[in-house]
Amino acid sequence: MHPYEGDANPSPMLGNLAGSVRSRARVSGPAVRRGWLENGPGPSDRRGADEFVSVSWDELTELLSRELRRVVDAHGNNAIFGGSYGWASAGRFHHAQSQVHRFESAGWIHQVSSQLLARCHRCHHAACGRNALEVVRALHVVDVIAKHSDLLVSFGGVPIKNTGVNAGGTSDHPTRGALDAFRARGGKIVSFSPLRDDVEGDCEWIAPVPGTDVAIMLALAFVLASEDLHDRDFLGRFCVGYERFEDYLLGRSDGVQKDPRWAQKISGVSAEFITDLARRMASGRTLVTVTWSLQRIKHGEQAPWMGVTLAAMLGQFGLPGGGFGHGYGSMNEPGLAGAVSLADLLARCESGVGFHSGSRDFRPAAFARGGVRLRRPTPDLSRHPVGLLGRWQSVSPPSGSPEAATGIFASGHDRRSRSVLDADGPQRRHRCPSTTSLERNDLSCTRNDPLLVAMQQVVPPFENSRDDYDTFAALASALGFGEQFTEGRSSQEWIEHLYGQWRPFVDADGGNTPTFEDFWAEGHYRMRTEDNLVLFGDFRENPEKYPLSTPSGKIEIFSETIESFGYDDCAGHPRWYEPDEWLGGPRASQFPLHLIANQPKTRLHSQLDHGAASQASKIQGREPIRMHPMQRPRAASRQETWCGCSTIAERALLV
């Protein structure tokens, strides 16, 4: 494996890829759980422990088509959950969601949002009128930060290691270089994180009690308000609800001032430092950033919402290098310039062509991390047996799904449902064997990368694995809509067709794209990018002409919509909620170690652990942990002990 020659900071995880092609973890052929094969569909406590029986592809197709037809005839389309996590294959044609959505009917139950960004989707939509992905794709690009920011205050740091990956592939990793340029110009970074290496290079590292970021942000806001350092003109013209929030902040509504001494007792960060930092933030161009990891806990929506509020009080929304940023260092997408990408046209091949009856229902996707509150009701799946939980997930490392089966198995319905299908590549056992991106042709591109890449097959498919498209085509044929699904095209013909749809779209915008034959021979094409992006720049320039998609058209520090839900654990404005499990809670006296389940440097979550780069990080073949060297008496500090463990997810808060 060799990095792209134009990559400023290649990912070390490339060293894992060669070992994945013929890994012993790969499944050699399709298989069915013995209990299902012998006894038919139905709930079973054997699931997860039962052995699997090898079958042919024709046998599997017959079993699947018969079960799908039975479920639809007996219960209707909304007895089927057809979903796929959003990462999947780097290729745009073999992208798992595209294949699933094209196959499925509009009546299947589908997911909304994901474990990755579920809470900040809700937060950003309520506060800014945009979902999290829309915010990510419009963030200040890292070059703008390097040129214009004076102070970067980051909650969760800007971990360079996470920028090694991006869904759909990535050709350049510019964040490290941009931060170096930012420092060279005199910029300063303050990193609030339990881990020093969440920012590489020079920074002011503050290690608070994990999970107390919102309390620190409130105290910073208190200093701005109490010392009249906040931008009243900006709050009045561009925001609504600040007065309601200020009543809470200054203690007028609950009798508790959220001042730096209050935050010090909670977070362990000195009141003097918080006060000084707030004054520094108000004195120059400041960008407040929050990593995605902070929203992956109960009350996780509060951190990004409070980050928006703090940035609004500084009045720098829409200014180059100022305001708010979400997700820098969470993956190699936030802060990269957007491109006119083939991904923008994929909806044309995603519309369902399968069974048609009823309307689509939705279920939240973030079961595993506390769930997500939705305005619309979700279907009560316990009222009738879920006929089939279909989850096709063809993983193409290093941009594959972190935990492909989490959404199913954490939901609690896997043992009550009648059937579960999970198609996967080399990272999962006991699945339908799918090819990886090295074993098939495809197109690679993302909305935040300039290269459209011809992903040409490198090696033949492993054993009896096959492309997801061929699996769906065979299943569609067995169900009677094969021609409608394939439109008479092979995989390669679909790739050429998608390129043909994309090419005139770009040419009409001033491009000069090659023919497919020339593109395939060259191997890649550099697309036009949207450089110098500034988040909410148009809104700041003219809020009447470019209003936000909130009820007020403005930044909603207080949301009447959220307040109307009547939640006892989510008010209409950001506030501090004590975590259920943390070093300041009652259980910490008995369990004083706080686990920080941090994203590893050498792989994506648990994927590619068998690769050379990941194996080189082991100690005697086992995963290392890092433990804080200080064991202080409880009376001396609330911040006595924490443990950093490189395992499954970023900063999951567990005791």
Q: Is the dihedral of CA 91, 92, 93, 98 positive or negative?
A: positive
Contacts of 255 (CB under 8 A, 6+ apart): none
Contacts of 369 (CB under 8 A, 6+ apart): 115, 118, 296, 297, 300, 652
Asked if residues 451 and 459 have their Cβ atoms less than 8 Å apart, the reply is: no
For residue 199, give both structure tokens.
């920012």
Phi and psi dihedrals of 385, rounded to 5? -60, 135
Asked if residues 35 and 46 have their Cβ atoms less than 8 Å apart, the reply is: yes
**pLDDT value at position 632?**
47
- Cα distances from 114 to residues 83, 164, 265, 317, 325, in angstroms, run 11, 21, 34, 27, 20
> Which stretches within 480-522 are classed as H helix?
482-486, 491-507, 516-522
**pLDDT value at position 79?**
76
**pLDDT value at position 534?**
87
Contacts of 505 (CB under 8 A, 6+ apart): 340, 345
**pLDDT value at position 246?**
98
DSSP run (H or E) holding 332:
none
Asked if residues 172 and 337 have their Cβ atoms less than 8 Å apart, the reply is: no
Omega of the bond leading into 210 within 30 degrees of 0 (cis): no
Cα torsion through 505, 507, 510, 512, rounded to 10: 150
**pLDDT value at position 271?**
98
Q: What is the mean pLDDT of each run of 10 residues along the chain (655 residues)?
A: 89 87 84 86 76 91 88 79 65 80 70 68 74 72 94 96 86 94 97 94 95 97 98 96 97 97 97 98 97 87 94 95 92 83 53 46 34 37 42 38 29 46 44 83 86 92 91 90 90 92 72 89 88 87 91 93 89 94 90 85 83 91 82 40 34 30
Place of tokens 């499925």: 104
Asked if residues 556 and 239 have their Cβ atoms less than 8 Å apart, the reply is: yes
Q: Fill in the DSSP letter of residue 77.
A: G
Partnered with residue 599 across adjacent β-strands are none
CA 429/CA 407 separation, integer angstroms: 17
Overall size of the chain counted in residues: 655
Q: How would you label 476-500 residue by residue, b for 16+ Cβ within 10 Å and e otherwise?
A: bebbebbeebbeeeebeebbbbbbe
**pLDDT value at position 649?**
32
Contacts of 279 (CB under 8 A, 6+ apart): 223, 227, 229
Asked if residues 502 and 509 have their Cβ atoms less than 8 Å apart, the reply is: no
Active site residue ranges: 85, 87
For residue 400, give both structure tokens.
């594959």
Reference 394, options 444, 434, 448; nearest CA is 434
Reference 224, options 259, 267, 253, 272; nearest CA is 259
Q: Fill in the DSSP letter of residue 456.
A: -
Asked if residues 4 and 408 have their Cβ atoms less than 8 Å apart, the reply is: no
**pLDDT value at position 341?**
60
Reference 291, options 124, 159, 126; nearest CA is 159
Q: Model-level pTM?
A: 0.84
Partnered with residue 596 across adjacent β-strands are 644, 653
Tell me if residue 178 falls in helix, strand or coil.
helix
Count the Cβ atoms, other than its own, within 10 Å of residue 184.
9
CA 169/CA 88 separation, integer angstroms: 11
